[in-house]
A = this chain, B = another copy of it.
Amino acid sequence: MDLVDRMLAGDRVALAKLMSRAENEAPDLPEVLARIAPRGGRAYTIGITGPPGAGKSTLVDRLVDKLRVEQATVGVIAVDPSSPFSGGAVLGDRIRMQSHCLDPEVFIRSLSTRGRRGGLARATRQMVRLLDAFGKGTILIETVGVGQTELDIMEVAQTVVVVLVPEAGDTIQVMKAGLLEIAHIFVVNKADREGAFRMKAELEQMLHLRPAASWTVPVLLTEANRDHGITELLAAIHAHRRYVASDGAAQRAAAEHRVREFFDVLSGTLAGRLESRVPDAYAPLLARVREGAQDPYGAAVELLADRDGLRRLLDGDE
């Protein structure tokens, strides 16, 4: 556990190694996170999401600039569906973020989605916990893409910024993608392009149709690549943060997120035990499933009925 001590003492290499263990869903990570829990709980988490091509990475980069001016310490987690061909991240984004790479108060980490099935929201949450215990006061989570997993990841964030561009098409698509429900702040980026004002008006109209809420979702115009509108965006984020601190519904949501995190750790741990032990303990059954000689459901029912075998699979190590 020396790694944990080094991380808590401010060692960035130790932090990076623990982040990798979160990414790889190392089975002992819950113990690590339980141990560092007393040091955490102070970070504020901001999610940035939206369709591909909306300019989220540039926006995050500019936000980090402003946060640094405010003396905030910053962590960035970029959830990045990397390609097996490109050998990792699409280069452009990473290069842009390199302007902060030499700043010791900024820690940037991308979380690869390659070859992954599920568990992304869990890994993101664990990385937030690590950055939090490391002392990062503000954590930005950027997700590329718009889908259910991204919506799940955004649940980790206390303030969610949805970034769109005028070209993103009809605002009805925003509704279809479930973005209207998760946005605390809308940003129409690349606002110099045609249709920006119309999109802002449409979003405001859609927001107006919702049941009245105590937080009014603002729709902001930005041009991240020219650094326009970023100060206003950060002010809106701070305003939402103050709102969250005082709002009962937000407190209840946070309580439910803690419960969700608890169940995720439990089921993730058990799934890990299955994946590591079934290949040895049930080799013939697994072979039959692989060959198609037995259907997966019949095989699962058979294994689940083997009470003693199941116990052996799921017991912790002696």
Residues of A in contact with B (beta carbons under 8 Å apart): 30-31, 33-34, 37, 40-41, 51-53, 81, 83-86, 90, 92, 113, 116-118, 120-121, 129, 143-152, 167-170, 172-173, 175-178, 180-181, 209-211, 254-256, 258-263, 265-267, 269-271, 274-275, 278, 286, 289-292, 295-301, 303-305, 307, 310-311, 314-316
Given contacts A90-B176, A314-B314, contact A81 B209 (CB under 8 A): no
Q: Is the CB of B129 within 8 A of A297?
A: yes
Q: Is the CB of B180 within 8 A of A83?
A: yes
Contacts of A297 in B (CB 8 A): 30-31, 33-34, 37, 129, 261, 265
Q: Smallest distance from the beta carbon of A315 to chain B beta carbons, Å?
A: 6
A274 and B85 CA atoms in complex are apart in Å by 39
Contacts of A289 in B (CB 8 A): 258-259, 262
Q: Is the CB of B262 within 8 A of A286?
A: yes
Residue of B nearest to A120 (CB): B148
Contacts of A81 in B (CB 8 A): 148, 151, 176-178
Partner of A178 from the list B113, B143, B175, B265 (CB cut-off 8 Å) is B113
Contacts of A53 in B (CB 8 A): 168-170, 173
Contacts of A83 in B (CB 8 A): 175-176, 178, 180-181
Partner of A316 from the list B92, B117, B175, B304 (CB cut-off 8 Å) is B304
Inter-chain pairs besides A53-B169, A53-B170, A304-B316, 7 sampled, C-beta below 8 Å: A37-B298, A53-B168, A148-B150, A258-B292, A265-B296, A307-B315, A310-B315
Contacts of A51 in B (CB 8 A): 51-52, 146
Q: Is the CB of B52 within 8 A of A173?
A: yes
Residue of B nearest to A211 (CB): B85
Contacts of A86 in B (CB 8 A): 175
Contacts of A310 in B (CB 8 A): 314-316
Q: Is the CB of A52 within 8 A of B169?
A: yes
